[in-house]
């Protein structure tokens, strides 16, 4: 069973309304006149980082990918809980946690530890408070919306290939940008599994077609032209992808990469055509 089939099976279980039918990256729970945003991501050796990676970087990435989901909701972090495997040089893991939690002003709420005999895995639950209502979702885009992305695409892929890239191991969640965008966007999500796949997911959830232009996409300057197709599908960039009214003023720097159109033959068009092959990374498929 691959990732998509597994999530589809989970939809048969009793779901809280805030789970949004498991079609978003975080749950939104109305609580005491406010909205709590709750997300959980896990990372594993051999999937999200190489064996032998400095535990400092493992801790940083574990927290960063979860804070990125809060950023996509415009949420202010309340704290995180950590599920940690006890590994060699665990003190470096603690140092990495200290660094990212201090950098972003996020407290540790608790968690659990486990000793594994095989490859290590780690989990993190991040809790945030929504700063805008309605809370941005991936399903709110409308035909005619402009589609934007923050930052650059492809830096994480280059870092992975180099074996020591900070963009891959120490992503910078766009928390401040997410809070600035939350009151004005129609839809928003982070780019975790590849720009093409995530744009298609937003379009599908919003019942639109995302029309992108390769020439408009802000690639990392070091990226060779022949690597652009791979970079669009690679993921781990943790930039914010968002849709808002065409012509609206942007509160943060971002690049327009396309627009949302009425639904058509596919949820995504790239340079006027339906892209072939995998659009991005899904567990159960090969990168």
pLDDT tens sequence across 211-259: 999 999 999 999 999 999 999 999 999 999 999 999 999 999 999 999 9
Q: What is the pLDDT of residue 79?
A: 98
Q: CATH assignment of 146-270, given 3.30.499.10, 3.40.640.10, 3.30.365.10, 3.90.650.10?
A: 3.90.650.10
Q: Where does residue 204 fall: left (phi above 0), alpha (psi -120 to 50 degrees), or beta otherwise?
A: alpha
Q: What is the pLDDT of residue 4?
A: 78
Q: Are 140 and 186 in contact (CB under 8 A)?
A: yes
Q: What is the pLDDT of residue 47?
A: 86
Q: What is the pLDDT of residue 21?
A: 66
- The distance between the two most distant Cα atoms of the chain, rounded to a whole number of Å, is 55
Assess whether the region 3-130 and the region 146-270 belong to the same CATH fold: no
The CA-based dihedral angle spanning residues 167, 260, 4, 177, taken in that order and rounded to the nearest 10 degrees = 30
Q: What is the pLDDT of residue 53?
A: 93
Cis peptide preceding 134, ω within 30 of 0: yes
Domain boundaries, the chain: 3-130, 146-270
> What does residue 128 show for φ and ψ, rounded to 5 degrees?
-135, 165
Q: What is the pLDDT of residue 286?
A: 37
Q: What is the pLDDT of residue 205?
A: 94
Please provide the size of the chain in residues.
287
Structure confidence by residue, pLDDT tens digits, 128-160 = 999 999 999 999 999 999 999 999 999 999 999
**Ranges in the chain, pLDDT < 50:** 283-287
Candidates 148, 164, 134, 169; CA nearest to 58 is 169
Is the domain defined by 3-130 classed in CATH 3.40.30.10?
A: no
**Residue whose entry in the numeric block shows the structure tokens 């660094």:** 99
Share of the chain above pLDDT 90, in %: 77
> Angle 55-71/90-104 helices, nearest 10 degrees?
30
Q: What is the pLDDT of residue 163?
A: 79
């Amino acid at each position: 069973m691959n990732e998509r089939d597994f999530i589809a099976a989970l939809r048969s279980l009793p779901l809280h309304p805030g789970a949004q039918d498991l079609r978003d990256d975080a749950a939104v729970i109305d609580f005491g006149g406010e909205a709590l945003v709750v997300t959980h991501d896990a990372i594993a050796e051999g999937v999200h980082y190489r064996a032998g990676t400095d535990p400092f970087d493992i801790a940083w990435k574990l927290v960063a990918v979860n804070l990125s989901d809060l950023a996509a909701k415009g949420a202010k972090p309340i704290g995180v809980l950590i599920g940690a495997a006890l590994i060699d040089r665990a003190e470096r893991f603690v140092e990495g946690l200290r660094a990212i939690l201090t950098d972003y002003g996020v407290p540790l709420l608790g968690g659990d530890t486990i000793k594994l005999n095989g490859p290590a895995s780690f989990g993190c639950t991040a809790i945030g408070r929504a700063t805008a209502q309605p809370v941005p979702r991936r399903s709110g885009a409308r035909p005619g919306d402009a589609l934007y992305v923050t930052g650059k695409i492809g830096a994480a892929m280059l870092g992975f290939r180099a074996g020591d890239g900070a963009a891959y191991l120490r992503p910078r969640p766009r928390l401040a940008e997410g809070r600035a965008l939350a009151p004005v966007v129609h839809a928003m999500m982070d780019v975790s599994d590849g720009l093409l796949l995530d744009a298609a997911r937003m379009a599908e959830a919003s019942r639109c077609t995302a029309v992108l232009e390769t020439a408009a996409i802000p690639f990392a300057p070091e990226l060779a032209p022949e690597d652009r197709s791979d970079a669009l599908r690679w993921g781990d960039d943790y930039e914010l992808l968002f849709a808002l009214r065409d012509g609206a003023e942007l509160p943060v720097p971002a690049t327009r990469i396309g627009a949302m159109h009425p639904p058509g033959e596919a949820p995504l068009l790239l340079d006027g055509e339906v892209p072939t092959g995998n659009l991005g990374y899904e567990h159960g498929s090969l990168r």
